[in-house]
A and B are shown apart, each in its own frame.
Chain A
């Protein structure tokens, strides 16, 4: 029962942060644009990632939270790669705030993914 509660909290936290992140990208906040210019993905990549983040957030709040967590973890993997290879840990003088948020989403979504692994299609269901 306790696990269930933690799972729901993790889903909520990850979803909220993902919505904020995708919102920043959709409205074209200057920091977002700067990041995607550094990655040479502006503007298409910014919108693609924003859509995936929003989708993951919606799924995390629905009965398909398992699928949503996989998407969220995937996007965060991509973000980690970006920070390690191109961006660095401190972006736009934010003192590492962005990387911190990233890690929070990563941990939350990862927890949801593990605790809901049975609900993930193909991977979880068929081996029961």
Chain B
């Protein structure tokens, strides 16, 4: 269709390509006849003309550059700054991914200890399929809400039972994924608030240990820090680590929401000499963990392995996974019953999880989302009669109190968040965690970027965020008429199935 102001790219590019040659001639002549200073321009245009010749005739990998030359280069330049423009200028407050500005602002405000109330109505799209918490006609008094206390390991009758005192814990992020300042700020904040923090699968948790907070040691599939060279468990190293006061629980990572069915990945850009030493890996190449523990090849061996870690560590020990096939999970639970070895906790990671570097297809297309996987796990555990022998942790975009309550209603006992805490540290969602170029110094090891992250200042924010979430937890729980989160059930949330069904009916007709 012809329009009045149609852009004829071919014409414009032809004019541009001829134009720079004319400019070259013009500046050359003024340089010769007027002043030699004009030859600065001559040189500039000469290089531009040469570059343009290369684009048009000397390369074959970019059809646009080959056909149109210089003018097409603007497409690449503009495209490269697109994400920043969209984030700052053109995206609405509710449509950014993975976290919208509204969601992030709530975390920022909580972390800074500022008022996070808003006015004149919600900015969310209420006609859309969104879950809501159902409140009660008869809310209880906030002071009547029982103090949060989840005991892990109690059902097994071990001595080292760990009591979780906050509804939120800091999820697994290793030193390696994060820089040392970020790890220490999180650990100091956790210590101050009295919350637990997961070490991630980064080997010996040197920086996590520095601040003295309660730690959950995560053992990934590569067992960094507690491995023999062939990748098998080094029991003495694990026992040594577990004997430390700060280590309260051990989490065996079977899979992860960001890349279910695939091992952890640390890009080579982020591997410093220190990280290589803490993990026992070579410098200069990506570190890819195996997709599963060498010891775990079926339900039987997996449960045996869990039992072995419980024995060696002597601590509450659990497993973490993103649910794939529920029949396999049921088989695993049956095997637990057969061997009478039940983990002390299970962490269900939603496929929306995302602090890890992961291949795009794994991040986008593999694994069940939390609000699908969590109730399935809860249900299978109940049906098999082992639900009361363990504690259920949930992870996957649980950065706001509302979403955490929804997770509690779907079966979780404690919520885990990683990215929520990154936002509390000042993350601006630049989406560069895998490149060692984090502009706010969180997921980088470059000293010039890390210096901007003040440990003490950010530790205060982390503690504020934990306290604010705990505060909102109590208020929301009181609104549902419950005094403890274990009273919550699926009836406490509204799942807009009807809306979804109506929509599909309409689409069908």
Contact = CB atoms under 8 A, between A and B. Distances in A.
Interface of A: 39-41, 45, 70, 73-75, 77-78, 81-82, 85-86, 122-123, 125-127
A39 B31 CA distance: 10
B39 A78 contact: yes
B65 A74 contact: no
B35 interface: yes
B215 to A, nearest CB: 37
A124 B147 CA distance: 58
B32 interface: yes
Contacts of B61: 127
Interface stretch (B43-51, B188-196, B305-313, B406-414): B43-51
Contacts of B46: 77
Given A77-B46, A81-B31, A81-B42, A40 B77 contact: no
Nearest to B28: A81
A40 to B, nearest CB: 6
A47 to B, nearest CB: 13
Contacts of A45: 36-37
B47 A82 contact: no
A75 B44 CA distance: 10
B62 interface: yes
A77 B40 contact: no
Interface string B16-39: 000000000000100110011101
B326 to A, nearest CB: 42
B76 interface: yes
A40 B76 contact: no
Given A40-B36, A75-B43, A123-B51, 15 more contacts: A41-B37, A45-B36, A70-B47, A74-B44, A78-B39, A78-B40, A78-B43, A81-B28, A81-B43, A85-B31, A123-B73, A125-B80, A126-B76, A126-B80, A127-B76
Contacts of B28: 81
Contacts of B65: 127
Chain B's interface: helix, strand, loop or mixed, by majority? Answer: helix
Nearest to A74: B43
Contact of A73 (B31, B47, B62, B77): B47
A127 B36 contact: no
Given A45-B37, A81-B31, A86-B36, A127 B62 contact: yes
Contacts of B42: 77-78, 81
B77 A82 contact: no
10 contacts: A39-B36, A40-B35, A73-B47, A77-B46, A81-B28, A81-B42, A85-B31, A123-B73, A126-B77, A126-B80
For chain B, give the interface size range.
20 to 34
A77 B43 contact: yes
A74 B48 CA distance: 11
Interface of B: 28, 31-32, 35-37, 39-40, 42-44, 46-47, 51, 61-62, 65, 73, 76-77, 79-80
A73 B47 CA distance: 9
B32 A85 contact: yes
Most chain B Cβ neighbours within 10 Å, of A39, A41, A81: A81
Given A73-B47, A74-B44, A82 B36 contact: yes
A74 B73 CA distance: 21
Contacts of B35: 40
A45 B39 CA distance: 11
A77 B47 contact: yes
A125 B80 CA distance: 10
Contacts of A123: 51, 73
A21 to B, nearest CB: 16
Contacts of A86: 36
Most chain A Cβ neighbours within 10 Å, of B36, B46, B47, B76: B36
A37 to B, nearest CB: 11
A40 B28 CA distance: 16
Nearest to A85: B32
B77 A122 contact: yes
Contacts of B79: 126
B440 to A, nearest CB: 22
B451 to A, nearest CB: 19
Nearest to A70: B47
A39 B47 CA distance: 22
A16 B210 CA distance: 48
A86 B65 CA distance: 37
A91 to B, nearest CB: 15
Contacts of B73: 122-123, 126
B103 to A, nearest CB: 31
Nearest to B35: A40
B47 A81 contact: no
A74 B65 CA distance: 23
Contacts of B51: 123
Contacts of A77: 42-43, 46-47
Contacts of B37: 41, 45
B423 to A, nearest CB: 29
A70 B43 CA distance: 11
B29 to A, nearest CB: 11
A73 B46 CA distance: 11
Given A126-B76, A126-B77, A41 B36 contact: yes
B435 to A, nearest CB: 13
B51 to A, nearest CB: 7
Contacts of A74: 43-44, 47
B63 to A, nearest CB: 12
A126 B40 CA distance: 26
B421 to A, nearest CB: 32
Contacts of B47: 70, 73-74, 77
A86 B37 CA distance: 13
Contacts of B77: 122, 126
